[in-house]
Chain A
Amino acid sequence: MSAVSEIQNAGNGAVGNRNIVVQARGVSKIFRRDAFEVTALDNVSIDIAAGEFVALMGPSGSGKTTLLNMIAAIDRPTSGQLLVLSEDIFLLNDEQTARWRNEHVGYIFQTFNLMPVLTAFENVELPLLLTNLTQQQRRDHVTTALRLVGLGDRMHHLPRQLSGGQEQRVAIARAIVTDPTLIIADEPTGDLDSHSATEVLEILKRLNENFQKTVVMVTHDPHAASYAHVVRHLEKGMLLPIGG
């Protein structure tokens, strides 16, 4: 029994295809710094269904990262309601939030954010150290995840021994190794050349199509956005209507 089939099972499991994974209602976020106030999100409402691939676009400073951070429970809305996987994540305490994120969310950064001193294998294993899996089980899951992103032969390389595209693929493996429902990617191809970018996008597409992962991806690149089913635009913290 491989991690891949487990990933497939989970995709069809508790959260059915029709289920809403993210439900935001009138979410606003105001950053206050000294006398300044920045409205990063302004009354945003959005539903994201399980199995969807959503691209978020918009000019710099329009609140894209802020919205992703709300969904991943990294930051709290100033007002409004946000349910992720039917859970009001802002009722959880620190410890519970961390655990919740470990189980349900895979986060992919523009800058990869791998631990420079750990090998690809060890980086991918990190989130599994918080689970009850045995060492053998962890090894199986890590190997499966790295093979899935085409890096089965680079497991014991350090990040600096990998190309940018390979580093991002390790980061994707790290994001999916716990078999989360939701994959969040903030400009995952922003630092990559077009060839590596396409590789990364193909992987995200495969995770979405073959493994029913819900993907929310921020991008500036129309080519990247073309991989998504739905493209939503943010402007000055406001979410434009679909097709707007």
Chain B
Amino acid sequence: MAIPISYNLRNMRLRKGLTAMTALGIALTVATAVFLMALVAGLNKAFATTGDAQNVLALRKGSDAEMNGGFSLDTVQTLRSLPGVAKTADGQPMVSGELVTIIVLPRKDGTGEVNVTVRGTRPVGIAIRPNIKLAEGRWFHSGQREIVVSKSIHGRFAQSDIGQSMRFGKGDWTVVGVFDSGGSAYDSEIWGDVNQMQSDFDRMGGVSSVYLRAVDTASAVTLAQRINDDQRLHLDGVLETAYYGKQTKSGDTIKFVGTFVAFIMAIGSSFAAMNTMYAAVAYRSREIATLRILGFSRFSILTCFVLESLLLSLLGAAGGILMMIPFNGMQTGTQNQSTFSEVVFALHMTPGVVITAVLFAVTMGFIGGLAPAWHAARQEILVALRG
């Protein structure tokens, strides 16, 4: 059996000032890492949970974003007649030609204006997205200047309450409902009647993308392939899930900058831990010599001090994670790199984020603790006894 862990814990408590300062340094680093990882996790969730494996999205060939599209009514008609497309109860193909554009809206808190995606759709478009639920009010009526806003738009933008109106396109639009898409990318959108939108944005008859619901997931794959292969259509067919999955690259910049910042901070924290552990070794030099004389091996001493550094870093990890818990679920926005509109998402402290944060801290503790522990173990008993 090794030197008991209570020996480490009580020594840490004995020098609580130094322990607290070092743990705080580690905690801040961990908090930063948790923040960035939760940000990326939230962003990934927004895109990864968007889409239904039964839905296929048709886009103009070569365009990677929905709003780059723009194709004719003929094309939409051809798509409606493709085999494998599901039908509504009254026999209509579940195909929705939609118009997606970007508008600028002022934030509720007065911190400026942001790009927001507006989607012109129709009842069948709502029907092919069963994951989207009405949270308040009602859906827009065809032929009316009515809009339904997502929950997070409702929370973040001015004039977004039911009964209020927003001004864009050629005039005012009345908010008649709020929808909830469960944290998906649709959560950053405003929906209205496609025909009204077409006239407001001078795009009569034009749609930017077409959504098709297949009878099942296998047919969806075939359908997407078929759209791709059809030379006359000149369209790309992608699964809705794949389309939104690809857009997670919006998180790449955050990931890169975040990793860099966390890395620099980690170096600092490792040095702080190292410094503290060197002080601990120097301070307890005589105790180390005594332990050796009692029969503890150099290896036991090494383990003892590495362990103490790990405990220090775990304390820091706990602190850092606790600091970030109040921010879990907090909503924020970023610009979607494909559509240049704002994507709203929540900080998401997944178990993966927490585990990574703990491992991150433990790595700092290990790197910081190894050299001092090595020094402690290497010392000659006689030299240490004098120290």
Query: Do A and B come together as binding partners?
Result: yes
| Minimum CB–CB distance for A110 against chain B, Å | 11
B8 CB to closest chain A CB (Å) equals 9
Q: A117-B11, A118-B7, A129-B4 are in contact. Are A102 and B381 (CB under 8 A)?
A: no
Closest to B8 in A: A117
Asked if B89 is at the interface of the complex by the 8 Å CB criterion, the answer is: no
Q: Are A122 and B4 in contact (CB under 8 A)?
A: yes
Enumerate A89-141 residues with CB–CB distance to B below 8 Å: 94-95, 98-99, 101-103, 107, 109, 111, 113, 115-118, 122, 126-127, 129-130
User: Which of B295, B298, B382 touches A127 (beta carbons < 8 Å)?
Assistant: B295
A98 touches B295 (CB 8 A): yes
Q: List 20 A-B contacts (CB under 8 A).
A: A72-B293, A74-B293, A94-B297, A95-B297, A95-B299, A98-B297, A99-B297, A101-B293, A101-B295, A102-B294, A102-B295, A115-B290, A116-B287, A117-B6, A117-B7, A117-B10, A126-B294, A130-B1, A130-B296, A174-B294
The one of A69, A94, A116, A127 that contacts B294, using a Cβ cutoff of 8 Å? A127
Asked if A75 CB lies within 8 Å of chain B CBs, one says: yes
Specify which chain A residues have a CB less than 8 angstroms from the CB of B293 in the assembled complex: 72, 74, 101, 107
Bound complex: CA A102 to CA B2 (Å): 13
Say how far A151's CB is from chain B's closest CB, in angstroms: 18
Asked whether A129 lies within 8 Å of B1 as measured between CB atoms, the reply is yes
B296 is contacted by which of A98, A116, A174 (Cβ under 8 Å)? A98
Least CB distance from A39 to B in Å reads: 17
Q: Which residues in A have their C-beta under 8 angstroms from that of B297?
A: 94-95, 98-99
Residues of A within 8 A of B (CB): 69, 72, 74-75, 94-95, 98-99, 101-103, 107, 109, 111, 113, 115-118, 122, 126-127, 129-130, 174, 178
Give the distance to chain B from A191, nearest Cβ to Cβ, in Å.
Answer: 14
Query: Could you tell me if A113 and B287 are in contact, using CB atoms closer than 8 angstroms?
Result: yes
Further contacts, 20 of them, CB under 8 A, given A101-B293, A107-B293: A69-B382, A74-B293, A74-B382, A75-B382, A94-B298, A95-B297, A98-B295, A101-B295, A102-B294, A111-B286, A113-B287, A113-B290, A115-B290, A116-B287, A118-B6, A122-B4, A126-B3, A126-B291, A129-B1, A130-B1
Interface residues of B in 260-318 (CB under 8 A from A): 286-287, 289-299
- Distance in Å: Cβ of A32 to nearest Cβ of chain B: 14
The 9 closest A-B pairs by CB, nearest first: A102-B295, A117-B10, A113-B290, A129-B1, A98-B297, A127-B294, A98-B295, A130-B295, A74-B381
Judging by beta carbons under 8 Å apart, are B14 and A116 in contact?
yes
Do A129 and B286 touch across chains, with their CB atoms under 8 A apart? no
Q: Which residues of B contact A102 (CB under 8 A)?
A: 294-295
A117 to B291, CA, bound (A): 14
Do residues B382 and A118 form an inter-chain contact, with CB atoms below 8 A? no
Q: Which residues of B contact A107 (CB under 8 A)?
A: 293-294
